[in-house]
Structure 1
Amino acid sequence: MGDLREICQRLVESLPGGKDHFRPVTGLPVSTYFSAYKAQWMVEHSEEVRAAILEGDALFGTVDSWIIYNLTGGAAGGGVHVTDASNASRTNLLELGSRQWHAPTVELFGLDPGMLPRVASNSEVVGRVKAGPLAGVAISGCLGDQQAALVGQRCGQGEAKNTYGTGCFMLLNTGAEIVPSTHGLLTTFAYQLGPRAAPHYALEGSIAVAGLGISWLKDNLRLIDSADESEALAASVPDTGGVYFVPAFSGLLAPHWEEEARGVLLGLTGARPGPAGDGVRGQSTEGRQAAHVVVVVVAAAAVAAVAVVRGQVQLSSNSCLGFTTRAHVVRALLEAICFQTREVLDAMRADADVSHMSVLRVDGGAAKNDLLMQLQADILHVAVSRPHFQETTALGAALAAGLAVGFYSESFVLTHPPNNSTAFMPAVSRDASEKRYGHWRKAVSRSLALADLAE
């Protein structure tokens, strides 16, 4: 049975525009990431799905449309089949300009336009809860998570936010203009706060590994005991000691879109023993199971091999020339998150006019890490603003819902509240930042075309 990658490869080879064939219509490249390819897989591999389509008994939608359908009664109670333009824009079936389904693309994926939900704005009453303690309550706000965070951060035209979760998602509000990307970003719908309101569009860069990398250090390599420990440990050394970590565990997303890239840890130098607390684990790690062995590229020619055993980086060497410790590796992972964000921001600068952007607004679980935010400001050489209330995705959805029923005013929803954030300002010179970024780009080049190593 084939997988999604085979479907994507077949389309790339057969469509006249190749990987970018759909970009002029949907803003998206051919990728397993988007819903239409999953739908085509089901059409090709499920007899039940094909039969339901032929009988007119199939509906297709995203998670939000499934939730709304069931809240409003479902199959037995006249459920409403509706989605919003932000979620619809991630299917690869929505024509961005009209914000309606693009019939030729829908049919190319083996679907029928009648199967798809109505596309609503992000702030309007689309139905009411059918039963239960919330029966009769209006469903009046629906947004994709990243677009909701954009609203929650009150990002107007020319402003950007970055959410640091399992991965990173940076969105730049381009206003009413649909900006095609030629630098590896996605052109997407941002929000429309009411059926008669002006639509806003965005450029988006998605990074696969952010908080996921911190979890990987904890769970797979056992270099830290908790995610919170990463900040103090990384801060215990002044820099990474020349270590660069490209966490391309399953390829690189924006702006590279390199599915064959794999993670590499570069610049390691020979270990020297030290007591617990100096960045190398001491006796406190006794009894831990040995972690996976990882193969890396090292800087010192004398180093012969590297492994991670009981949470400690150990290297065999003819002579100890350096001092790479777990603190350097953890700090390198934090910097990798920041470098990947810099790559996305540079792509946005190349695609759109962001000359007046003076601040990057941030949120998400990993944004609580003060060191990470300071490193981000240093590497971007742009101020970083973290709101005191960081649940901006939930806030954005609440603002959209409240606006639709008159609970919030438009000015309240769109105006950024004063004195409501912590600012991180660049603390290194631009030359120093550019030098480190140059080293990062060199490290990325070493991560490409490595997937065949696992064969």
Structure 2
Amino acid sequence: MGYNVEDIKGIGITNQRESAVCWNKSTGEPLRNTIVWSDVRTDDLVHQLRKRDDAHLVQEISGLEITSYFTAVKFRWMLDHDPAVQKAAREGNACFGTVDSWLIYKLSGGEAHVTDVTNASRTLLMNLKTLEWDQDLLQFFGISRELLPTLCSSSQVYGTVALKDSPLAGIPIAGCLGDQQAALLGQKCFRKGEAKCTFGTGAFMLFNTGHEAVKSTQGLITTVAFQLGKHVEATYALEGSMAVAGSSLRWLRDNLKLINSMEQVSDLAERVRDTGGVYFVTAFSGLFAPYWRDDARGTMVGLTSYTNKYHLARATLESMSFQSRAILDAMNQDAGVPLKALKVDGGVSNSNVAMQIQADILGLKVDRPSMRETTAFGAAIAAGLAVGVWNSIHDLDQVNNKGITTFIPNLTLEEREEKYKIWRKAVESSLHWTDDVQESESSDEE
């Protein structure tokens, strides 16, 4: 790339959030496999916790609902089911963390067991107001504070690289954010009222609410957007998450063998003007925001003998847009300020047809930057601010402004609302499936 190691002033970390990691404090080796964010093995535990009389405290303090999505229930599952974790915890020899904690621990040669407030705000264990591990939440989940990393801001020096014989040795590790918050920062959503949506395996829409942690009444998550320095006031966001986005394209390829590559979906979808009345609710493991229904399952409605692979491809792309619309409506109600434009990134955003469908169904202009590695850029911004590459976020005002592609809505209001009305009906059809299937299986066993 034409640069030398000496040109590197600092390293930023960004990571898959919520995934739970546990390792041995003495050896630095993992005690077990990671439990990733989308893993649903904790569903039974979640149902038990929700029934507790004090369950309401979790959302009030952390801003999060008790679901299998977040980290604390994964930690609790490890402590309940994994003998190696149990033994290390009893001996005071276990370290818990999210993926950022593990990476910084290893990069620093075991010197730094830390996490930043954006990742901590996804654990169910951090107080959103104090930005500290909360004793009531720790007691609720039965997790000892000693197991957890030290809480830090998103932009400060956590340590230096201490890998043996590494050319990066001595370089400050200076930025850390969860991937979606990093993308928000990388999209330069610095101001209240700005929002982005990242379309990866899942999809994640974040709306900057400024220095106020807005409590959602519409099924959204209140989270920390970023804290750019130890003594800097935190910026908060409302977030809506979809469990399935790009992974639905993989399903078409690997499970149905409908396509040979994920990129082929766009080509197929462009062959038809609409879905032929097909609606696809991609609730393979339930629905996230704003529904929060773990009893939902994938449902395709409106199929006829006329339906072909082109309709199915377009319906799959539309499913992401309808879920985005549900989240956007919730954000507009919670924030009280209608969004004017949505910034997008992630693998699916490379598809022009997918982003045009987004604009049509949202009724908003959709802006896609030319440089779409916004998650990595956000981590670089945080690290750069910590080591003095930039003095403030305003030094970045003109960065990545060229080559923006804007998608303008083509549907009329009436067309948009009619399609969304049918989508909501399809969502209703997807609910209660896990309960019904379990009842049916129980009857068969009898």
TM-score, scaled relative to structure 1: 0.84
1:60 lines up with 2:44 in the alignment: no
**CA distance in structure 2 between the aligned counterparts of 1:405 and 1:367, rounded to whole angstroms:** 32
1:116 lines up with 2:148 in the alignment: yes
- The one of 25, 28, 47 equivalent to 1:9 is 47
1:159 is aligned to 194
Structure 2 CA distance for partners of 1:125 and 1:414, relative to 1, 3 Å: farther
Contact 2:132 2:151 in 1 (8 A): yes
- The one of 222, 231, 256 equivalent to 2:257 is 222
- Give the C-alpha shift of residue 221 in structure 1: 1.0
- The one of 220, 237, 242 equivalent to 1:207 is 242
- Write the mapping of 1:180-195 to structure 2, written as runs, cut at 5 A: 180-195=215-230
Q: Which range moved further: 261-270 or 38-47?
A: 38-47
1:377 is aligned to 359
1:285-331 deviations in Å (ceiling 9; x for gaps): xxxxxxxxxxxxxxxxxxxxxxxxxxxxxxxxxxxxxx211101111
SS of 2:337's equivalent? Answer: coil
1:87-111 deviations in Å (ceiling 9; x for gaps): 1111110101111100121133222
Contact 1:385 1:421 in 2 (8 A): yes
Structure 2 CA distance for partners of 1:231 and 1:46, relative to 1, 3 Å: closer
CA RMSD of the aligned region, Å? 1.6
SS of 2:94's equivalent? Answer: coil
Amino acid paired to 1:143: L
Contact 1:152 1:395 in 2 (8 A): yes
- Write the mapping of 1:51-130 to structure 2, written as runs, cut at 5 A: 51-74=87-110, 79-130=111-162
1:427 is aligned to 410
**CA distance in structure 2 between the aligned counterparts of 1:65 and 1:418, rounded to whole angstroms:** 33
- The one of 348, 351, 373 equivalent to 1:391 is 373
- Give the C-alpha shift of residue 364 in structure 1: 0.2
**CA distance in structure 2 between the aligned counterparts of 1:420 and 1:21, rounded to whole angstroms:** 46
1:147 is aligned to 181
Structure 2 CA distance for partners of 1:6 and 1:391, relative to 1, 3 Å: same
**CA distance in structure 1 between the aligned counterparts of 2:139 and 2:384, rounded to whole angstroms:** 37
1:30 lines up with 2:66 in the alignment: yes
Structure 2 CA distance for partners of 1:412 and 1:398, relative to 1, 3 Å: same
Contact 1:153 1:416 in 2 (8 A): no
Identity of aligned residues (%): 49
**CA distance in structure 1 between the aligned counterparts of 2:86 and 2:320, rounded to whole angstroms:** 42
Amino acid paired to 2:54: P
* Higher CA-based Rg: 1
- Give the C-alpha shift of residue 52 in structure 1: 2.8
1:245 lines up with 2:228 in the alignment: no
- Give the C-alpha shift of residue 207 in structure 1: 0.3
1:178 is aligned to 213
Amino acid paired to 2:324: T
Contact 1:214 1:230 in 2 (8 A): yes
Q: Which range moved further: 445-454 or 122-131?
A: 445-454
1:313 is aligned to none
**CA distance in structure 1 between the aligned counterparts of 2:83 and 2:397, rounded to whole angstroms:** 48
**CA distance in structure 1 between the aligned counterparts of 2:328 and 2:255, rounded to whole angstroms:** 30
1:44-89 deviations in Å (ceiling 9; x for gaps): 2234433333332222211111111111112xxxx21111000111
1:239-274 deviations in Å (ceiling 9; x for gaps): 11111111111111111111111111111112xxxx
**CA distance in structure 1 between the aligned counterparts of 2:245 and 2:381, rounded to whole angstroms:** 27
**CA distance in structure 2 between the aligned counterparts of 1:188 and 1:414, rounded to whole angstroms:** 25
- Give the C-alpha shift of residue 417 in structure 1: 4.7
**CA distance in structure 2 between the aligned counterparts of 1:47 and 1:417, rounded to whole angstroms:** 49
SS of 1:169's equivalent? Answer: strand
1:354 is aligned to 337
Structure 2 CA distance for partners of 1:229 and 1:49, relative to 1, 3 Å: closer
SS of 2:209's equivalent? Answer: strand
**CA distance in structure 2 between the aligned counterparts of 1:43 and 1:107, rounded to whole angstroms:** 14
Contact 2:63 2:128 in 1 (8 A): yes
SS of 2:208's equivalent? Answer: strand
- Give the C-alpha shift of residue 415 in structure 1: 6.1
Amino acid paired to 2:127: E
Contact 1:167 1:210 in 2 (8 A): yes
- The one of 326, 332, 345 equivalent to 2:315 is 332
- Write the mapping of 1:277-292 to structure 2, written as runs, cut at 5 A: none
- The one of 375, 380, 390 equivalent to 1:408 is 390
- Give the C-alpha shift of residue 389 in structure 1: 0.4
Amino acid paired to 1:206: S
**CA distance in structure 1 between the aligned counterparts of 2:246 and 2:239, rounded to whole angstroms:** 19
**CA distance in structure 1 between the aligned counterparts of 2:60 and 2:240, rounded to whole angstroms:** 17
TM-score, scaled relative to structure 2: 0.86
Contact 1:185 1:254 in 2 (8 A): yes
**CA distance in structure 1 between the aligned counterparts of 2:172 and 2:162, rounded to whole angstroms:** 10
**CA distance in structure 2 between the aligned counterparts of 1:264 and 1:112, rounded to whole angstroms:** 41
SS of 1:354's equivalent? Answer: coil
2:17 is aligned to none
Amino acid paired to 1:135: A
1:264 lines up with 2:337 in the alignment: no
**CA distance in structure 1 between the aligned counterparts of 2:288 and 2:200, rounded to whole angstroms:** 15
- Give the C-alpha shift of residue 234 in structure 1: 0.8
Structure 2 CA distance for partners of 1:164 and 1:3, relative to 1, 3 Å: closer
**CA distance in structure 2 between the aligned counterparts of 1:141 and 1:3, rounded to whole angstroms:** 32
Contact 2:243 2:287 in 1 (8 A): yes
1:386-426 deviations in Å (ceiling 9; x for gaps): 00000100010011111111112311246665334100011
**CA distance in structure 2 between the aligned counterparts of 1:58 and 1:166, rounded to whole angstroms:** 30
